[in-house]
Structure 1
Amino acid sequence: MLIIYLIVLMTLTITTSIMLISSILSKKTVLDREKMSPFECGFDPKTSARLPFSLRFFLIAVIFLIFDVEITLLLPLANVSPFTNIFSWSFSGLFFILILLLGLYFEWYKGALEWSN
């Protein structure tokens, strides 16, 4: 067990020292305006390098991500059904689905699912 602790300590020491040395050596001291500007074949850029981003698309993506994670939390419920009490299994599953439906209804009520405006 002592050998494992020594190996972990030595690994952490080596990686920390390498990260510190690399951060000290890689500091940029000269900030040149020409080097910091975007480069387009030697000419000044005609338009902004930043494109406009749709906030509604981002909200729909976050809602999808939340519901996707909740579905992955529901999947193990089918695997544990033979090992649990049927009442507690059905109550927890229905309660979780009720929370999902309430969240969906709230998003629908607030208009976050309306794509065209």
Structure 2
Amino acid sequence: MGYAVGAIIVLAEDEPDLRALYAEYLRRCGYIVWEAADGAEATALIREHRPDLLLLDHWMPVLNGLEVLEQLRDSREAIGLKVVMLTHQRDAETRLEGFALGVAAYWTKDLSLAELGTKVQILLDSAST
């Protein structure tokens, strides 16, 4: 469990209240969280901070989540990066496209903060083993 605390997370969410809520909760869990309001910001933060986890909204301005993944596909800074799509999208086609681009999981935005914290912990712990 030690790996996950202090892990670096980039949180890409264009809805400011939701982004603030998630970021504050994850910080209280012991993570370092960088916030992005759009896909271009997310890409820049990933290149600068080399996070362990990217929580990526599907629909964002400038670049959507899938476009972010396409830009990072061959990037050194994204090697080993775990990506989770946080979305309201539930359709199989969208999910398959994301999985093809390396998404580790899809989580819907109706999850509670406790669920978010537990899922992040499990995902990061699995990455360190």
Question: TM-score, structure 2 length as denominator?
Answer: 0.21
More helix as a share of residues: 1
Structure whose alpha-carbon radius of gyration is higher: 1
Question: TM-score, structure 1 length as denominator?
Answer: 0.22
- RCO comparison, higher one (Cα < 8 Å, 6+): 2
More strand as a share of residues: 2
